[in-house]
Every structure is written in structure tokens, then in C-alpha cells.
Structure 1
Amino acid sequence: MRVYVPATFGMLGTLAREEKMPVHSGLGFALTPALRDFYEAGDDEEIEYSAFLEAARASLRLLTAGDSEFPHRRVVISADLPAEAVTYTPEKGESVVTLAPPEITVAQLAAIHVDDEDNEAATAAAVEVVDAADLGDEDAEIAVGDAEDKLMSWYDAKELGVLVDLL
């Protein structure tokens, strides 16, 4: 099952060095039955993209705690996990899943998505107001939306070491 795991660049470095990474709160995002039911139209790929966007927003929340290397770059890790390692937790949201064990390994890595340098200003603004956006502040929602509108760069799983070394 494809799971989108929110991360920071520091967490990505941990994955590269240790070949495994703890998943914050043990939570990821995936195409779940509830997410599929939520949308009246669209194919699985389109609906799955909304789970990816939820992971990108969760990455903003992780950045509020600080990441010394790249404090304004969202990271989402796409991982392919066995179905028995993923439990749908509907009380936490339509796309939220719990991972057991609460970690991912390099072997499970499918792709890496990272904000480019050009996205940093929008991401920095969103980091400052993501909680207010969640509480309905319209200006904050616009700032977070601006960051979410920026596409993240895609890297193949094989590029993990190079990505961490070059950035």
C-alpha cells in the first residue's frame, strides 16, 4: 500500500544514514475507503493526490518544531508498505493511517518529494500560520494555500543519498 509520510529534511538525513526513520506519531496518509467515499468523482490517482497534500500539510506542522538545515522546505516520503503494517484510523481523518511499526525503511522507499529553493518563501509564510489556518483564519488559509500550490520536486528512491549529500 502506498503511504505518504510527512517529514523534514533532517528526518530524510536520518533515513539516509540509518536506513530507517521513525515516523512522527506513527501516522501517514493514504488512499483509504473513507477518502474514496468522500470524493464523488475522480480516479484513484486523483484521490490519492489529496492524501499526498495532507502529508505535505503535516510536513508544515513538523517544520514548526524547527529543522536546522532547511527550515522552510516540506518533505513527503512515498513508501510502499505491506497492508498488514497499515491501519486505517477514521477518527483521525479520511486519509490518516497508523503504521506498525512506526517507521519506514529505505527498502520501502518509493519516492521523495521536496520543496525547491523557489518555494521557501511561501513555505516559510505557511509554517508561521498553519495552526491559524486549521482554526479557520482566512488570511492564514490563503498563505497555506499559496505554499500548497507550489509543486514539490520528485526524486527517485535511489537518489536518497545524493539528495541528502548535495543539498
Structure 2
Amino acid sequence: MRIFLPSTFPDLAAVLADGEVRGAPLTAYAVSGAPAAGADDEELEYEALRAAADASLRLVAGDPGAPRRRAVIAADMPEAAVEAEPGAAAGPGRVTVTGTVPLKRVASVHVDAPEAADDIAAALADPGAGHEDDHELLWYATQELPYLVEPRDAG
């Protein structure tokens, strides 16, 4: 099952250092249950990704030292490790991951471009204004994670 974990850049660095996402139980977003007939799986996963991006914005708000950029970790987990919220309707929604998420299960990372930082900061100052809506998250392969979180020498 593909899950989307809201994150921050400092949390991404910790995942890289630890080799896993820790802190079980973890809140994530996923498409759970049997979606309605005719529902497009890709569109439903995109909705789950967007929900995780909204949750990432709240995490960034709670960490004044974090770069003003959203981050979402996409991972493939066994369904037995993922629990839908009681009473949740089928489709994209919040789920609980009962254990850690090993780095080997991470499929990709989605983050705001550096140019989005001002709009993300504005979204934090004025929640609900939608400043972040103008920015799509960029896709990165797992092996690119070190380049996202570790500063590189310019010279």
C-alpha cells in the first residue's frame, strides 16, 4: 500500500541518518478501502499526497528552524502495517502506520522547490489563504535524498 508521510527537511535528514522513519505510531495518508467504481487510483493517490503536504505545512509551522518548504515521503508498506481511522470512508484519508518505515520501503520524496519558500512562509503567517496552492511538490528518487538534506560546498 502506498502511504504518504508528512515531513520536514530536518526530519528527512533524520530518516537518512537513521535509515528509517521513526516515531510509531506514524500518521500518514493513503487510499484505503475499496474506492468507488470508476475512481482513478492515480487521482486518489494525488489527493492523499496533497493531504500529506497540508500536514507537512503544519509540521513546518511547529518547527521554527525548519526550512519553509513542505516535504512528503512516499513509501510502500504492507497493508497489515497500516490502519485506517475507525469509521473512515474508502478513499484517500488519514491512516496510522503501526511501526517504523525502513528507508528501503521509501519510493520517493516530494518537496517544494526552494523558490516556494516565501509563499510557504506566507501560508504559515496566514493559514487558509492558499499561498501554498500555487506550488506543486517536486519528485525526488530515494537516492537523491542526501542532496536534498546535506549542504554541499559551492566551490
TM band (smaller chain): 0.7 to 0.9
Give, as a single letter, the amino acid of the residue that structure 2 aligns with 1:81: M
Give unpaired runs (5+ residues) of structure 2.
none
Mapped pair 1:106 → 2:103: yes
For 1:19-30, list aligned pairs within 5 A.
19-23=19-23, 26-30=26-30
CA shift for structure 1 position 14: 0.2
Partner of 1:51 in structure 2? 48
Partner of 1:5 in structure 2? 5
Partner of 1:73 in structure 2? 69
Q: Percent identity?
A: 33
- How many residue pairs match? The answer is 150
Q: Distance in 2 between matches of 1:17 and 1:87?
A: 27
CA shift for structure 1 position 166: 3.9
Give, as a single letter, the amino acid of the residue that structure 1 aligns with 2:47: S
Partner of 1:95 in structure 2? 93
For 1:154-165, list aligned pairs within 5 A.
154-165=139-150
CA shift for structure 1 position 67: 4.7
User: Is 1:57–1:148's contact at 8 Å kept on the other side of the alignment?
Assistant: no
Structure 2 residue matching 1:68: 3-state secondary structure:
coil
Q: Distance in 2 between matches of 1:68 and 1:107?
A: 28
Partner of 1:128 in structure 2? 125
CA shift for structure 1 position 33: 2.6
The structure carrying a bigger helix percent of its residues is 1
Give unpaired runs (5+ residues) of structure 1.
131-139
CA RMSD of aligned residues (A): 2.2
Aligned in 2, Cα 1:123/1:92: closer, same or farther, shift over 3 Å? farther
Q: Distance in 1 between matches of 2:56 and 2:88?
A: 16
For 1:30-41, list aligned pairs within 5 A.
30-33=30-33, 36-37=35-36
Q: Distance in 2 between matches of 1:54 and 1:63?
A: 14
